[in-house]
Structure 1
Amino acid sequence: MSYQVRSIRADEWPAARRLRLTSLQDPVAHLAFLETYEQARARPDAFWQERAAGAAEGATGAQQIIAEGPDGEWVGTLTVLIEEAGSTDWAGFPVERKQGHVVGVFVEAACRGIGLTEVLFSAGLDWAWAQGAERVRLLVHEENTRAQAFYRKTGFVPSGVIVQLSAAPDEKELEFVIEPGTD
């Protein structure tokens, strides 16, 4: 595999923006992301600059990890947020212990099935454990069975927590978790 997996740099915000917009055009984006292509495209450059700086190499509260292809094009990404015990997470839920929260997972369709997603997850988990996370979690739409199967294969297990993030009562997100040493 001739891909480089690494944390982004703050000055790479245009590439981070491009990859996010690409991910939001994926056929299952409506199940995987909490914003639309149109919403993301309308955001000003300052938003993308701040987002990249807050999740760039050296940041301790979040880390965006990318997979860079042989031609330098970004083909995959995930972000890990650190949620501190005693705080509330981005959705307003209480955080009981220090944890990582994986968000924004995406790999270009042409690069799926070659082990790249596993390498991205390994790098993200390594970063979370180095930050002192006691567990790492993620939320996955109940109908996104492809993602659920991958998360199980990577060592994540359903916690039993079900979260409703949208106004639609029949749309639920399932929490999956992994503990150190099980990845």
Structure 2
Amino acid sequence: MNTSTTIIRRVRTEDWQPLRDIRLDALRDPVAAVAFLETYEQAAARPDEFWQDRTTRAATDPHVAQFIAQTEDGRWLGSMTGLVERAGGDGALEGDVVEVDQVHVVGVYVRPEARGTGLALDLIRTVQEWAWSLPEPRIERVRLFVHEDNPRAEAMYRKAGFEATGVALPVPGGGGGREIELAVPRG
């Protein structure tokens, strides 16, 4: 697959339907059980207003940004979101403590036909560039969690420069296993 014709950009408010569609596709993916904390059934039951609000926030909020990779003909190949987390606040998982101002990468998905092309690394770099460019707060690191049973994703994150921090938390809701924190400090 040639990704040279792939465009990476932040979502726009009018993108709510393709955003919903790629999220539903991600949740149907065989690795979704360990990659996401939401099920297909939960997401599919959400009304259009939920997706419209979510997209508007990801497009306009200074502390949330969702980026998509799309072909020149408009097909979405992948998506990734960055969320600003402030020091002293609660983190994403139970027992997670936010010690520094950081961006948390969530909702990582690349369609099967685009995997192994470097597209995920391009999306990660885009989220990192956004994080480092924020004027306030000054982001000290970019982090994410990966399920211990998702070695392919972990390998990709490590290729992107993420390293284990030593934090491992149980999967919320008794889903089994642990989520391993990986991070890249501000360079």
- SS of equivalent residue, structure 1 residue 15: helix
CA distance in 1, matches of 2:175, 2:30: 22
Which amino acid is 2:62 matched to?
T
Gaps of 5+ in 2: none
175 and 72 in structure 1: CA distance in 2 versus 1, 3 angstrom threshold: same
1:9 is matched with 12
CA distance in 1, matches of 2:105, 2:115: 18
Gaps of 5+ in 1: none
CA distance in 2, matches of 1:149, 1:118: 11
Count of residue pairs brought into register by the alignment: 180
In the TM superposition, 1:131-170 aligns within 5 A as 131=134, 132-168=138-174, 170=176
Q: Say if 2:140 and 2:186, in contact at 8 Å, map to a contact too.
A: yes
Q: Which of 108, 124, 128 is the aligned partner of 2:127?
A: 124
Give 1:94 deviation, angstroms. 2.7
Normalising by structure 2, we get a TM-score of 0.92
CA RMSD of aligned residues (A): 1.3
1:71 is matched with 73
Normalising by structure 1, we get a TM-score of 0.94
2:50 is matched with 47
Question: Deviation digits for residues 32-82 of structure 1, max 9, x if unmatched?
Answer: 0011111100001111111111111x4211100000112201110000000
Q: Say if 2:93 and 2:169, in contact at 8 Å, map to a contact too.
A: no
